[in-house]
Amino acid sequence: MNKLKGLLLLLLGALLVDFALENAVAGPQLKLFHFELGRLPVYLLVYGSLIFGFFCGWLAFALKARRQKQAAAAQEKPEAPQAAQEQVL
């Protein structure tokens, strides 16, 4: 299975490099609030958007997991003192 994963990663890497080489021409002029930011190759725009999307998805997942963990901890805390009181009685 590790050889298959390695082969697939190698194939994916080759596809990414080929995409970058084929789309190395300068893309459209980038502007933000009427300021010209310059021209970037198309592949940098695509890869940058992909990385930004992965980061936003990871951040949303991390915040959701943190909220769920805090909610679970908050539900357990009130039950713990009651259980301790029952053991004492």
| DSSP string computed for the chain | -HHHHHHHHHHHHHHHHHHHHHT-SEEEEEEETTEEEEEEEHHHHHHHHHHHHHHHHHHHHHHHHHHHHHHHHHHHHHHHHHHHHHHH-
Task: Tell me what pLDDT residue 79 has.
Answer: 55
Task: Tell me what pLDDT residue 78 has.
Answer: 62
**Interval 63-77: pLDDT, tens:** 999 999 998 888 887
Q: Enumerate the domain spans of the chain.
A: 2-88
**Interval 21-69: pLDDT, tens:** 888 887 778 887 888 888 888 888 889 999 999 999 999 999 999 999 9
pTM over 0.75: no
Residue 10 pLDDT exceeds 90? yes
